[in-house]
Amino acid sequence: MKTYATLVLGCKVNDYEAAYIEQEMDRDYRKVSFKEMADIYIIFSCAVTNIAEGKTRKFIRQARRLNPDAYIAVVGCYVQTDPNAAVFEEVDLLIGSRGKKDLKQLIDQGVRSKEVGKLDGITFEDMPLEDYGRKDRAFLKIQDGCNQFCAYCIIPYARGRERSARHEDVIEQAKRFAESTSEIVLTGIHTGRYFDGEYHLLDLLKELVKIEKLQTIRLSSIEITEIPDAMIDFMAQEPKIAPHLHIPLQAGCDRTLKEMNRPYTTEFFKEKTDYIRAKIPHISVSTDLIVGFPGESDEDFAETLKFLDVIDFSFIHLFPYARKKGTAADKRSDFVNGTIVKERIRQVNLLEAKKTEAYHRSLLDLETRIFVEKNEKGFSYGYSREYVYTRVAGTYPIGTSLPVRFTGLNAEGMEGEAL
């Protein structure tokens, strides 16, 4: 039996798409590690930063070294945005943001093609999965594409305009996952923009919570403008929805937000997060932040730091601004000095550490659940409903939805006691 290996870079949407391709490949091929010699290598690429593109190039060359005669397919955003990149000369098959569902069939036929489909009129590709392959958490792709065109972001050019899965398909997929998985994470490029006929995200959530075997639903990254009060009210009274929202801020300065083409102000952001916390007191609100966006002055950054101090995020995914060819920001000339960016990152990291510790302390004695994903040396580890990494004494089966009480803090997150 021929062998194949996959490597996934980038977002959770890529994870879901890779899981589908692996399901299809497993019917006729045997999966091996990407570090091993294989007959076929499949790389799910990312283009969100130049670093991500560099990793794609690195792994293409690694695959070719491992087996000079291997069939190499590269899929996704980097392919879509730069199909003529020199490194793709070493690749047999390129698939951008359309036609992924046909990948296994093309590999079976030994198709060698560098033609990448255009994004005009692209539709949502249904990729039904029988089993995600994990008992603790499964990602369910419900949406793709983006209409926002933030100044720093290449994704609208890589994945095309917004489109959503049929709500009937999402519900059926969730039912399949619920048979073997503790937690389902709804994911997309713009999850909050889910729309299928009369179904918005809130309508979809109201249907999903009716699935008897489904234990927990988590929302992946969602924009502040896409969280209506009615959805927060529903989350507050629905125990199946995890009390965690990851809401990208990107900057805490109105001038910078405008330059980024972000569609909200800091005042709006604060009013909405205040409402969220009033309705769901122990909720984890985390964020993404870009430091050193072109033109960000010392005064602008000081405003961002002050705003972070007010909002009290549970954790921050922090990124230095990275130039990306094809974006509006890349055409600017007022780039921030790298030494200044590093100092700003240091300051944000110090503030984040304080805020994360304070949030964890606020959870002490709270009863919650963790979803066991690892056992080691007599302990079980997993993320809580609040998305806090937790350690519990005792060895419990992977995938267990374990009731616990938070009892203390540790370097990775929290200590818990099984109930």
Same fold, 3-108 and 367-418: no
pTM: predicted TM-score of the whole model, two decimal places: 0.92
User: Average per-residue pLDDT in the chain?
Assistant: 95
Mean pLDDT of 189-195: 94
The domain 367-418 having CATH identifier 2.40.50.140: the answer here is yes
- C-alpha torsion sign, points 108, 111, 115, 118: negative
The four Cα atoms 67, 70, 76, 78 give a dihedral, to 10 degrees, of 50
Report pLDDT for 167.
96
Q: What is the pLDDT of residues 293-305, one digit of tens each?
A: 999 999 999 999 9
Region 3-108: CATH code: 3.40.50.2300
Q: What is the pLDDT of residues 33-64, one digit of tens each?
A: 999 999 999 999 999 888 889 999 999 999 99
How do beta strands 30-31 and 3-8 pair? Answer: parallel
CB neighbour class for 338 (10 Å; exposed up to 12, middle 13-18, buried from 19): exposed
The per-residue pLDDT for range 136-152, each reduced to its tens digit, is 889 999 999 999 999 99
CATH number of the structural domain 137-362: 3.80.30.20
Give pLDDT, residue 119: 87
Nearest to 156 by CA among 189, 184, 198, 195: 189
Task: Enumerate the domain spans of the chain.
Answer: 3-108, 137-362, 367-418
